Structure 1
Amino acid sequence: MSQSSNQYQMKIDQLREQLGYDFVSLAFAQSASDGFVITWQFASGNLNNRYKRIVLQSGKGIAGLVFKTGKPMLVSNVKEELSPQDLFNDYPIIISERLNSLAAIPLYQLDRVEGVLLAGFREGKTVTKNNFRQLYDSLKGQFGDFRIKESTFR
């Protein structure tokens, strides 16, 4: 994370406002001394501060899956695409922020995923492939040393 905390916070605040998302958050992998866990570090439009207490292993949760696969994730309708049991066990950010639709995009440094950006809606709106592409395109060059891989977008 080469940019300052204020810069990341400002960028996700701007992103949320410009694209109309209810919630935008950034997750980063912690160092080896922290066991390579993934935590949500910054949030905009959050309902509470529970996101700060979510700690994920690679392959678990939205951030963990995106970190592990290096591929973006689109969930247009949480109720239709994810089982209620999975929500409570594997997707705590969806529960704590009451998201109904979301997109998560890996942020690369060199050839490794180092961050995940999550954007979502609570009610009334859905993340479609079109606004997913708009989110993806708006991230290019926005997060300092991080880059977006075109090949990861379907």
Structure 2
Amino acid sequence: MEYIEEYQLQIEKFREALGCDIMALALVQPAENLYVLKWQYISGNISERIKKVVLQSGKGIAGGVFKSGKPLMVPNVSEFASKDDLFNYPILRLEKLQSVGATPLWHSGRVVGVLLGGYRESNLMTTEKLQLLISMSKSGLGKLDGKELLRN
């Protein structure tokens, strides 16, 4: 099976397991020595425009998780960002998300992407669901091995 089909099938299974409205996978794209992220695989999206969004490291949900290498949970988007600030978080705005969790995707000790699960209602992303999302990401996704660099 090709990785493209495998990624799409896996995020659809992850979405079903978590009961999310949307599951999205952003992967790093090399661009003139700067790395950008694009939402490449999505299940449950209401807008195709999200696939055209390009995020810099540190910008948006995916960029922040990519840069920090740490998961992020936003149980209530209205407490996380004001309406005027939502342009900085295109996936929240375009997909009308109200509650999200995102985790870095690792391969050979490096962050290479971000896995996001989201809901269109507030307070549906819980600590337990975020832990399940993290666990799914570490089990390996497509050709990604889920292995973080171990520090002694």
TM-score normalised according to structure 1 size? 0.87
Shift of 1:141: 1.7
Aligned to 2:128: 130
CA contact (8 A) 2:25 2:114 kept: yes
AA in 2 matched with 1:69: S
Aligned to 1:20: 19
RMSD: 2.0
Q: Which structure: greater strand fraction? A: 2
Query: Could you give the per-residue CA deviations for residues 85-104 of structure 1, whole angstroms, max 9, x where no partner exists?
Result: 2211x100100000000001
Gaps in structure 2 of 5+ consecutive residues: none
Aligned length: 148
Structure 1's 62 and 124: CA in aligned 2 closer, same or farther, altered over 3 A? closer
CA contact (8 A) 1:11 1:142 kept: no
DSSP 3-state at the match of 1:27: strand
What pairs with 1:19-58 in structure 2 (closer than 5 Å)? 19-33=18-32, 35-58=34-57
TM-score normalised according to structure 2 size? 0.88
Gaps in structure 1 of 5+ consecutive residues: none
Shift of 1:74: 0.5
Q: Which deviates more, 123-132 or 9-18?
A: 123-132
Structure 1's 118 and 148: CA in aligned 2 closer, same or farther, altered over 3 A? farther
What pairs with 1:99-118 in structure 2 (closer than 5 Å)? 99-118=97-116
Identity %: 44
